[in-house]
Each structure stands twice: as C-alpha cells, then as structure tokens.
Amino acid sequence: MMHKDIKLIVYQIKRIGKDNLMLLLLVYPALLAAVGKLSIPFFRDAFIEDFDLMNHYPAILVFFIIANPYIYGALAAFTLLDEREENVLLAIRVTPLTLSHYLGTKVFFFSIVSILSGMFITWFLDLVTISFVESFVINTLIAMSAPFSMILINSFANNRVEGFALVKGTSLMIILPLTAFYVPEKWNLLLGCIPGYWPAMSINKLANPSFGFMPYWGYSLAGFLYILILIALCFRRFKRRIS
C-alpha cells in the first residue's frame, strides 16, 4: 500500500511539471515570502511618523500564511479538474484503488507542502514570536484550506474556466479573516463562519495574550473541527457530481 501511495505522489509531481502555470503556482509561496520580507520593513519605515506598522504584524502574518495554502488549493483544484476532463477518475473506478484513497493521497501531498512552506514563511518573516510547536499546529490548521479549496472548487466547476472564476471568488477567504483583528472582541466571533478566522485568532492570542476567552490551541481545535466538517460536506457534493 505504501508503494502505491508513493507512486501516486510521484504522479502528482509529474502532472505539475507538465504545466507552466502549475510550476508558477508552485514557486509562488517562496516569492510571496520574499515580497513580504522586503516590503514590510520598507513600509514600516516609510509610514513610521503616521502609524506603527508593528502593531499590525499579527494580521500581516495571517495574510501571508493564509495566502500560501490558498495557492496550493488552487493548484490542487486545477490538477483535479484536468483529471476529470481526462476521465482519470472514471478509470480509477475499474481499478482496486478507491476514489477516496486517490484523493486522500492528493490531499496528503498538498497539505504537507502547505504545512512546510507555511512554517518557512512564519519563520522567515519573523513577525510574531511563535514556537516551533505553535507554528506547526497553526500552519497544519491553515494547510487544511488547500484540500478544502480543492474540493470546494471541484464541487461547482466543470472545467478550468469555471475553476478560475471560483478561485477569484474564493480569494475573499484570504481577506475576510483579517477583518477579525479590527472588529470589537465581543463581536468578532460572528466571523467564525470563515475558515481562516480560527487560525487568525490563534495567532492573535499568541501575539496578545489578553485577547479572547480561549487559549490559542482552543481556537485551533475549533478550527480543525469546523474545516473538517466543511471538507466532508463538500466531498459529499463532489461525489454526487461525478457519480
């Protein structure tokens, strides 16, 4: 079984290598980290007389590490859309491999890449004091956005054109969690319907210990439960669409 999983992961890598757009998306998180590392000090110094950008570092970090799995989610969604158009999923039905196993391997691959790159961005930008374990927990939660985006987009899109439209629409999932930093604490829980809210508030708790009514891991645990429910619901719709 392990040998089959490795072959499936190699297959995913080969598919990415055949598409220039996929290759661009693959290196995008590294470019994102570099842009952040160069631009944040520049804007901090440029506007130092007007406001202190350091007070907004937690929200800025959230933007960069949420954008990271969003890119990988789009990458995973496009590869799955291609496989649907090529009838790869139909071919899987006549093999011993189950659809859940095949998609599980894809989810594992993109989640691991998202976690590692997210932890790198967190360390590289160094905007919030956060331990290795805390970074792992939060970036693992945020990485769940990649499979969620993959299944969500494929639950509604039939081809790449529709996929691009949905990717643009779901880009709000990057911006909306940032608003929770600027909504009064007694009201910001209303934003809990946004998946990115929970890791955002985990980071907010680490940066501002007086914030909130739960420890950071409480927000993270709630986020894990919520995103898993969303993924399960989207997966049920996806299976109905392709059956």
CA dihedral 161, 157, 223, 183 (to 10 degrees): 60
How confident is the model at residue 21, as a pLDDT? 62
Rounded to two decimals, the pTM is 0.87
Spatial distance between the Cα atoms of 102 and 97, rounded to a whole number of angstroms: 7
DSSP 191: G
How confident is the model at residue 113, as a pLDDT? 86
CB 212 within 8 A of CB 201: yes
Please report the sign of the dihedral spanned by the C-alpha atoms of residue 173, residue 178, residue 183, residue 186: positive
Regions of the chain where pLDDT drops below 50: none
Spatial distance between the Cα atoms of 64 and 34, rounded to a whole number of angstroms: 11
pLDDT digits (tens, 9 = 90+) for 97-133: 777 878 888 888 888 889 999 999 999 999 999 999 9
Minimal CA–CA distance to 141: which of 208, 66, 209, 75?
66
CB 99 within 8 A of CB 92: yes
